Amino acid sequence: MVLASASARRLQILQQIGAVPQHIHAPNIDETPKRGEHPRSLAKRLAREKAETARQAVRQVPGLEKALILAADTVVAVGRTILPKAETEEEARDCLRLLSGRTHKVYTAVSLVSARDKIHHRLSESRVRFALLRSKTIAAYLASQEWQGKAGGYAVQGRAGNFILRLVGSYSAIVGLDMAGTYDLLLAQNYPLFEVWQNNPLC
């Protein structure tokens, strides 16, 4: 298997499922939303483009000609407003102010390239309710630097978990990879998950 992502969070979730990539290839694509593009459609499109871009590179590597290739993308949105993957403190602050006291949606798409180069997809949709965030709370969170590069300017598995009043959907998908959907995709492609579980029991 090849993981088409440099995300440590996605790698950790894959390992929890029982899938350990033999190779990691993080494709560089333009993630700019198209005019009028729905957040759900954006997540699906980016996951597919990442998978296709990785496939072009990976298939040239000896020994990976028939490897499974897994790619994913996570989009945070309030209504149809797509929040950025915060790269600056100002972006993160704007995201947190918008999310404060509101419910937003998180769309996580997974694309898996099979050994026969067919692409299979799963899409997870989750709803997250944030508490009202005071200015000093936002300032402290920004100082933590945890927001850097995170969709919506926060990481649910970190300190921002304190802000969540209600979560409906897949927690792992909000972290970055829908565990149940990925599990189903891998089993459908005969990835030996159960053999991994049996040969590596948890203590």
Q: Which residues are catalytically annotated?
A: 73
Q: Spell out a b/e string for 17-54, using b for 16 or more CB atoms within 10 Å of the CB, else e.
A: bbbebeeebebeeeeebeeeeebbbbbbbbbbbbbbbb
Beta bridge partners of 119: 113
Look up tokens 């990481």; give the residue: 155
Three-class SS of 147-167: CCCCECCCCCCCHHHHHEEEE
Strands 69-78 and 2-3, by their bridges, are parallel
Residue 11 is given by DSSP the state H
In this structure, what are the phi and psi dihedrals at residue 109, rounded to the nearest 5 degrees? -105, 145
Asked whether the beta carbons of 191 and 19 are under 8 A apart, the reply is: yes
